[in-house]
Amino acid sequence: MTSYIAHHTKKKQILARKEAALRRLIAANAPAAKLVAAAESVREARVRVLNVHRSLIVPDGDVVDLYTKIDSEIAKVSSTSLATILAEYGHKNLASSGTSNLNIRFSRSALVPVPAAKTGHQRVPAEITNPKTKL
C-alpha cells in the first residue's frame, strides 16, 4: 500500500485559477510583462494537466496509440505561442501592450528569451510496448 495517493484534480484546479488570473489581468489592462508571465503559467499548467492524463493510462495491452496521442497534444500545447493564448482569453489589442512579438518562449523568472524545447516523438519504454516484458 502506498503512503502517497496522488490528487489529480489539484492540477485542474490550479489551471482554472491561472486562467481566471489571466482573464482578470486582461480585463484590467495589465502591463505586457504581467500578461506574458500569466500566459506562460497557463501554458505550463495545461501541460501539467495533460501529463496527469498521461500518467493515468494503465499500461495494459496496446496503449502506444494513447501515449502517442497525448504526447502529440503535449507538444502542441507546449509550442502554442503566448499571443495565441492571450487571444484565446479575449486580449484583442496585442500591438499596444507590446505583446505582438510573442512567438518565442519566455522564462518565467527572468522574462528573457530561452530556446524552445525539442518537440517530436518521444520513445515509449520497452516495458510498455512489449506486453510480455514483466514490469
Q: For residue 57, what pLDDT is reported?
A: 84
Residue whose C-alpha cell reads 486582461 in the numeric block: 26
Alpha carbon distance, N-terminus to C-terminus of the chain:
17
Tens of pLDDT, residue by residue over 1-13, are: 556 666 788 999 9
Q: Residue 109 above 50 pLDDT?
A: no
Is residue 116 very low, low, confident or very high in pLDDT (cuts 50, 70, 90)? very low
Q: Are 116 and 79 contacting, i.e. CB atoms less than 8 angstroms apart?
A: yes
Q: For residue 58, what pLDDT is reported?
A: 83
Q: Residue 106 above 50 pLDDT?
A: no
* CA separation for the pair 95, 101 (Å, rounded): 9
Residue whose C-alpha cell reads 492571450 in the numeric block: 86
Q: How high is the mean pLDDT of the chain? A: 76
Tens of pLDDT, residue by residue over 60-104, are: 888 899 999 999 999 999 999 999 999 999 887 654 444 444 443
Q: For residue 26, what pLDDT is reported?
A: 94
* CA separation for the pair 59, 55 (Å, rounded): 10
Q: For residue 6, what pLDDT is reported?
A: 67
Residue whose C-alpha cell reads 501592450 in the numeric block: 97
Residue whose C-alpha cell reads 496521442 in the numeric block: 69
